[in-house]
A and B are shown apart, each in its own frame.
Chain A
Amino acid sequence: MSPSSKDRLLVWVLRACAGLSGAIVLLIAVFLVLESLPALRNVGFARFFSDPSWHPARYAADGAYNLAPMLAGTLLAMAGAVALATPLGFCAALFCHFYAPPGLARACRRLIELLAGIPSVVYGFWGLVTLVPLLNKVQPPGASLLAGILILALMILPTIALMADGALANVPAEYLRGAAALGLSRSATIVGVVFPAAKSGLFTGVILETGRAAGETMALLMVCGNVVQVPKSLFDPMRTLTANIALEMGYALGDHRSALFVSGLVLLALIVALAAAAEWLSKGRVYE
């Protein structure tokens, strides 16, 4: 095989792989839409946001299908967890990179990687038997938005910490040497040189952790209380879109089942909106 024909083969293999990866996302979207169609036809799109409550039934006429409180639940838990985990993750990465002695930094990284490897159901179980009873002493019932935010923050912390760590490592060494030559203090270097240079990497990290937060299911199902309502305070229970699917899918028939696929569709739309917003905010430079 001549070098050029090898190249041609490689290009086709790569094209196929890229096409396949893209096609899978499209197939999932098409599948979601097809499965949602019966509910969209029988219930109608507007009712998913205007019905008085979420009391789904096998036949559309008998039920109520308001998804809005669960969309709000997903957004609130996601926003809270990202607000909590992002500064923590950034600070952990900064410490590892610029302040910690090498040995300690390595140990710290290993521990964070370990945190990333714990399955979500373990976090959920810990939350159910430890965190929820603890919160219950402060303000019953314990299973609440706050419990969800805390568990979720813990789960996405490794994502943001490791991504930030990688972004900081990619800051060119000459920038740091230049800053040192200018006599900048370490804190001035971080704020004035490192952050601007690592901006797009840090931003990607935030997007990834947000996506993970939106999609998390098991842990939230176990600690959030799963009551369908817009929480009025941090201590109110609530249900996320993902928990809704996991809780009811095995038990749903007819339009109820189809309505759960609409939950999935709404979730997908949310993720697309997030990605689009991120792309727009960074003017298309997210992945550079």
Chain B
Amino acid sequence: MPRAFTLLGLLALAGCGAGVGTPNAKPATKADAAHAADGEKLEGKLVVTGSSTCAPLVAEIGKRFEQRHPGVRVDVQTGGSSRGVADPQTGIADLGMASRALKEDEARLVQAHTLALDGICVILNKANPVTELGDAQVAAIYTGKIGTWNEVGGSEAAITVVNKAEGRSTLELFLRYFELKSANVKASVVIGDNEQGLKTVAGNPDAIGYVSVGAAESAARSGAPIKLLPMNGVAATVENIRNGSFPLARPLNLVTLPNPTGLKKAFIEFALSKEVHDLIREQSFVPVE
């Protein structure tokens, strides 16, 4: 183990030179100095901001990282994927979190490190007799062309369409997959985070919503009356995300400026290592092999 850390230290030292000149290099350099002094001690504070889907996972990884390195504090704040991409650039945060792939213009400025894979799936209340919806049907429901459940094989009741608030990457990916425009979505309820969406669908037998597969599976496992619908015929399971057959999958990324150094590099290496795979599985996400 100590040998591994010495190696890390050397890497961090080597990275130091490259990092000078970027606005974020300062705290990292300080951490490196402490690091180099006794060869195996990491010190400092990491501020991580961004996607609320990634945040619970990164917080858990951060806790374990703090246990390994008592001198380090990992501070995780939520604020959405766009923030997760913007904050490392402005220096507000050391690392960002984004629950989507980087866009082309973003990829020129920052680097993404994929922690895990997640999917987005449609959820219904357990009391709803509907067990499957085609992509066209989901799109028609979200644009208001289908207004009652009996048009897709359910009860007479009107459909309660649960949509996400502007700025969420879950909304962005959902719209892109179903080729919808935000302005055309006829929502009955607009929610903020995954948790509120799960509560709304759990409390309303006629609701339809979409959330992270990880969040939905965890909720269903702990007894919430919801069910995950297959997407285009592929069941929304961790297994199908792993083997790549689930159509609406997305990477959960840590975002940094190109070529991270020191503490940041050490944390990313830890977060991408096998040591945290149990944490990733616990939250029903898929570790990257």
- Chain A: residues with Cβ within 8 Å of the partner, total of 30
Which of these, A58, A222, A237, A256, contacts B196 with CB under 8 Å? A222
Q: Chain B nearest CB: distance from A79 CB in Å? A: 22
Which residues on the B side are within 8 Å of A53 (C-beta)? 183
Q: Which residues of B from 126 to 176 have beta carbons under 8 Å from A?
A: 157-158, 160, 165-168
Which residues on the A side are within 8 Å of B206 (C-beta)? 136, 140-141
Given contacts A55-B183, A64-B183, A136-B160, A253 and B189 within 8 Å (CB-CB): no
Given contacts A239-B190, A248-B165, A140 and B158 within 8 Å (CB-CB): yes
Contact A247 B188 (CB under 8 A): no
Contact A227 B80 (CB under 8 A): no
Which residues on the B side are within 8 Å of A227 (C-beta)? 187-190
A267 interfacial contact with B, CB 8 Å = no
Interface mask (A236-278 → B, CB under 8 Å = 1, otherwise 0): 0101000000111011110010000000000000000000000
Contact B203 A129 (CB under 8 A): yes
Contact B165 A128 (CB under 8 A): no
Which of these, A56, A128, A221, A256, contacts B200 with CB under 8 Å? A128
Given contacts A140-B160, A140-B188, A250-B79, A256 and B167 within 8 Å (CB-CB): yes
Of A53, A141, A227, most B-chain CB atoms within 10 Å: A141
Of B183, B189, B192, most A-chain CB atoms within 10 Å: B189
Once the chains are docked, how many angstroms separate the CA of A262 from the CA of B86?
22
Given contacts A248-B166, A253-B82, A141 and B204 within 8 Å (CB-CB): yes
Once the chains are docked, how many angstroms separate the CA of A202 from the CA of B56?
48
Q: Chain B nearest CB: distance from A147 CB in Å? A: 11
* B contact residues, range: 20 to 34
Q: Chain B nearest CB: distance from A56 CB in Å? A: 6
A-B contact pairs, 26 of them (CB 8 A): A55-B166, A58-B82, A128-B199, A128-B203, A132-B200, A132-B204, A136-B203, A136-B204, A141-B158, A141-B189, A141-B207, A222-B196, A225-B188, A226-B189, A237-B188, A237-B189, A239-B190, A247-B165, A247-B190, A248-B165, A250-B83, A251-B165, A251-B167, A252-B167, A253-B82, A253-B86
Once the chains are docked, how many angstroms separate the CA of A151 from the CA of B207?
22
Once the chains are docked, how many angstroms separate the CA of A110 from the CA of B40?
60
Interface mask (A38-59 → B, CB under 8 Å = 1, otherwise 0): 0000000000000001011010
B220 interfacial contact with A, CB 8 Å = no
Once the chains are docked, how many angstroms separate the CA of A58 from the CA of B83?
12
Contact A226 B190 (CB under 8 A): yes
Which of these, A58, A142, A256, contacts B160 with CB under 8 Å? A142
Q: Which residue of B lies closest to A143 (CB)?
A: B189
Q: Which residues of B contact A (CB under 8 A)?
A: 78-80, 82-83, 86, 157-158, 160, 165-168, 182-183, 187-192, 196, 199-200, 203-204, 206-207
Q: Which 8 A-B pairs have the closest CB atoms?
A: A251-B167, A251-B80, A141-B160, A226-B190, A141-B188, A133-B203, A225-B189, A247-B165
Q: Which residues of A contact B (CB under 8 A)?
A: 53, 55-56, 58, 64, 128-129, 132-133, 136, 140-143, 221-222, 225-228, 237, 239, 246-248, 250-253, 256
Taking A140-B157, A140-B188 as given, write out 6 further A-B residue pairs in contact, using a Cβ cutoff of 8 Å, ordered by the A residue number.
A141-B160, A141-B206, A237-B190, A250-B79, A250-B83, A251-B168
Q: Chain A nearest CB: distance from B289 CB in Å? A: 31
Once the chains are docked, how many angstroms separate the CA of A252 from the CA of B183?
18
Once the chains are docked, how many angstroms separate the CA of A248 from the CA of B167?
7
Contact A251 B79 (CB under 8 A): yes
Which residues on the B side are within 8 Å of A141 (C-beta)? 158, 160, 188-189, 204, 206-207
Once the chains are docked, how many angstroms separate the CA of A67 from the CA of B191?
18
Which residues on the B side are within 8 Å of A250 (C-beta)? 78-80, 83
